[in-house]
Every structure is written in structure tokens, then in C-alpha cells.
Chain A
Amino acid sequence: MLNIIYGEIEKDNYIFDPDTFFNHQSEDAWLEDEFTKEMVKDVDQSEIIGPHLVQSPFLGAIPPEKLSGGVKTLILIANDNEHIYNASACGDNCAKWLLKIGENKDVTIRLGYLMNFGKGPFQIHVVNTNKIVNNLEELDDEVIDNGLLQQVTK
């Protein structure tokens, strides 16, 4: 299931900047995986040629480090179970992939905005309130009514 912590978190295994983390920690095998290739094709409209080469329709031939922050975060979430990633690096066009990852394994992410997961149905566990919601309306109400995104300042 997809578990989401909304707002600010302080945990030793929390990665605030997945974009940079990916550049230094990604593994070749992750980029050879079919699921990764599908995500990159969908989000970045790019094709993974090999673990060190991506063909982008906008930027030409690029290294994986030049993939979007959103898709890098998805690849990390799909492949690394040790860390909690800041999924605010992902736009709404990554939402369906987060749900798909959550269908295959128990995964926890952090969000600082109201990502649009589509109307549903889906199952998301809101960690802050320990509630499972089944559609977007339930999710929005849970997050907004409990002020989970209004405690962002330090």
C-alpha cells in the first residue's frame, strides 16, 4: 500500500532532495528494469537506451542524471526500500505511478502538496492520522481538515 506522510518530517532515512540523491546512488539495474522504462517513457517521454543513455525528444541524447526530478524520484521509490523520499519532487503526472508502486509493495513517501491521484478508487494510508482513504475526496478532506499541510514552516 502507498503510505503518505504529509507536511514536514524529520527522520534519519528521509531524503529531501531525491533528484541529487539519484545522481549519486542510482544503480544500473534499476534503469534496465521494464517498469522503470515505462515510467520514463510516460513521464519524460524519453527512451532508456541503456543504463547510461537516455534519448529525450527535447534534449537529445542525455545521461540518466538529466531525467526529470519527478521520474528520478519514482525510480528511487520503486527500487529502494530503505529511504523515505520527498515526493513533492513529483508532479501530478507521476501520481498514477506512485499508486502502481503502492499496489506492488508497502511504500512510504512524503508529500508537501495535494497531489492529484485521480478520482479513484484507490487505497492510500495517511500516516499522520493513521487513516486509509479510498478516493480523492476522502484524501483531500483528510489532509485539509486536519491541517496536515499548514504546518510547513520551521
Chain B
Amino acid sequence: MVDKWMNKLWDRKDKILVGKYDIKIYDNKVHYHLIVKRNITIIQGNSATGKTTLIDMLLDYSQLGKNSGVTVVCERKCVAFRFQNDMQLQILQAMHGYIIFLDENNSFIKTHEFARIVNESDNYFVIICRDALPQLPYSIEEIYGMRINKESQKYIEPKKTYNELYNIYNLHDSKEIKPDTVITEDSNSGNECFSHVFECECRSAEGKSKITAMISEYKNSGKDLLVIVDGAAFGSEMQLFSRKAANCNNKCVLYAPESFEYLLLNSGIVEVDENVLENTYDYADSRYYPSWERFYTAYLIERTKDTVLHYNKARINEAYLTEGNLEKIRAQLPEQIEV
């Protein structure tokens, strides 16, 4: 049942872009299939996998439409840009409800100005870039590589190359761990709560950009580390984390729920609409919530307002720390993690 707050969100007349979109882009040689469901999608990976060809085809389509010979199938308008001047930012600000493809040849994608536009935008952005973009809050789950779908090639049209996206970071096959130390990205309520969930030492890195430095402190220490981050906005740090974890010479495992608030919402402590958690893309309007992490925080605050469980990000409400509620939070952890 969609509650009052959600109804308010649905009824916003100015809400332009939420949802999950299936995109097909093709000509008579290559075929791309993508699904985007958040405001920021990142494509990386090896050279010669078709990333530039994708942008080139969309550039042609953006200029000439179907006269380009390129077909684009999507409920939303998909466009690509590639130029280097200030006008681009002005154009982006004037656009609403588009899925915009940009590649690393657009030097402005690393600027704070671009980040400000994205964070206030009602467009979705698909950005092809290997460099991390720490000013943008993108999800680990929305970092993709591109590869040829050999099955489609075999059965649909052998002369055509079918490209698809795959998740670069697989978070579902984590190693078993009973941590000696837990490192949390959160410094306030999240860290405080995990200090009660785990028996071992629980340190805060005080921000996502400081996690790798903290892991370095434990190199060759013999201590097994569990690192807990907000997956919804940790994308820019993920490559550094994964390489640092590999070099740690101890076990170093990542646990990346969407956010701490998502964990609480999913735990059953608070009554929530499961549909909101399962299909967040239908609710998290990117203009108000640049990442889902912020959406879940707002949702939790709204759901617990004026109740004993009222949520405060700065300090955990003790009502969440009863043994019963801590057990519900522990039940959310993957079975590979022993507290």
C-alpha cells in the first residue's frame, strides 16, 4: 500500500523522470541493449568493446533522427553530446526528461559544475568514463562493462554484433568472514549501530574517500576486515577499494547495502511499503534525491516521524538498539558474515 508520503511524491506535478528504461540502439551492423534505472549509469571496461561506436551512433541519431539509419527504441528520448565549450552545460540545464549519453571526451564531466547540474537534474545520464568521478554519487551496481552477447549473435542475426552491459563489480559472491575489525563509511548513526551489531572493534572512516587509507593501516596486520559502505553512492571509490583490498594481505570483505537506512527499512523494524524498496527507481526522483541513499534516508525519517523510532542520522535513536531490533538488523547481513 502506497502511504501518504509516497502519494505526495507521486502527485508532484513537476516530477519528470523516474523509472526503469529499456534502450535498444542499432543499425545493420551492431546492436546495443541497455537497461537504465538510476540517474547515473557508468560504462567502463576494455578498449574495442564498442563504447565509442555506441556514442557515435547516438550522435548521428541525435542530429538526423531516423534519417541517420540508426534506430533507437526507448520510452524516453536518448541523445548524445560531444563538445567542449560552456554551451554544453547550458544545454544540459535546459533539458528535461532525457537519457543523455556522454563519453570521456567531454572534459567537463569531471567538473563541479557538471556535478551540480546532474545532482539537480531530471534527466538520466549514461557516462562512458574509466576515470573515477568522485563528485558524482553513483552506485556500485550501476558500473558496467560492455561485451558481445554471443548467444544473440548466434541465434538472431549472425552478421550483426550484439552488445550488452554486464556488472563490473559482483557483490553477491563475497567471501566468508568473521571480522576482527569493522570499518564503516558512516560516522554517525550507522557506525554507532554497527558497534552494537558486531562484537569486534568498529571504526568509522568518516567518509568514503578515507576508507582506502584506513585499510592501509591494517596491511599485513593479520586482522580480517569487513568494510561497510553505502553501495548507492560508493561507485567512484570502488576501483580503489577493490585493488586496496586485494593488496591488504588479510581478508578484506566489502558489504555494500544501498545504505544504512535501507538496511533499517528492510529489517522489519519499521513498517514500510516493500514496493518502494523493491522498485525504488519508480519513486526516487533524481531532482530531489541525487542518489538512492538520500531517498532512503528521507523515507525512513518520514516513516518514523512522531513515533518512538524517529530516525536521526546524526545519532542513532536507542529504540533501534534493543536486542530484538539488533537481531533484526543482523538478520539482514549476508550469511557469509559472522558477527
Contact = CB atoms under 8 A, between A and B. Distances in A.
A114 interface: yes
A93 B52 contact: no
B56 to A, nearest CB: 8
Contacts of A93: 46-48
B177 interface: no
Contacts of B107: 16-17
A59 B47 contact: no
Given A70-B47, A88-B130, A137-B247, A153 B240 contact: no
Contacts of A35: none
Centre residue among A58, A71, A93, A137 by max chain B CB count within 10 A:
A58
B152 interface: no
A145 to B, nearest CB: 6
B130 A112 contact: yes
A29 interface: no
B110 A91 contact: no
B243 A89 contact: no
Interface string A134-154: 000100110011010110111
Interface in B55-70: none
Contacts of B132: 112-113, 149, 152
Nearest to A137: B247
A101 interface: no
B48 A70 contact: yes
A97 B243 CA distance: 21
Contacts of A150: 134, 209
Interface string B46-88: 1111111100000000000000000000000000000000000
Nearest to A7: B131
A68 B240 CA distance: 26
Given A69-B52, A112-B131, A113-B130, A144 B243 contact: yes
A137 B115 CA distance: 32
Nearest to B52: A69
A68 B52 contact: yes
A58 B240 contact: no
A152 B240 CA distance: 14
Given A60-B29, A153-B110, A145 B213 contact: yes
Interface residues of A, number: 37
A114 B47 contact: no
Contacts of A114: 239-240, 243
Nearest to B215: A144
Interface string A88-112: 1111111000000000000000001
Which of A59, A140, A144 has the most CB atoms of chain B within a 10 A radius of its CB? A144
Nearest to A115: B130
Contacts of A144: 212, 216, 240, 243-244
A91 B104 CA distance: 13
Interface in B204-257: 209, 212-213, 216, 239-240, 243-244, 246-247
B97 interface: no
A44 B50 CA distance: 10
Nearest to A58: B161
Contacts of B24: none
B30 interface: yes
A31 to B, nearest CB: 16
A91 B134 contact: no
B247 A141 contact: yes
Nearest to A138: B247
Given A90-B47, A91-B45, A114-B240, A140 B130 contact: no
A128 interface: no
Given A17-B105, A68-B52, A153-B134, A113 B239 contact: yes
A77 B148 CA distance: 28
Contact of A71 (B30, B48, B130): B48
A154 B116 CA distance: 13
A152 B47 contact: no
Given A19-B105, A43-B47, 5 more contacts: A43-B48, A59-B29, A59-B161, A113-B131, A144-B216
What 6 A-B pairs come out closest when comparing CB atoms?
A: A70-B47, A112-B131, A91-B46, A68-B48, A91-B47, A93-B46
Interface of B: 29-30, 44-53, 104-105, 107, 110-112, 115, 129-135, 148, 161, 209, 212-213, 216, 239-240, 243-244, 246-247
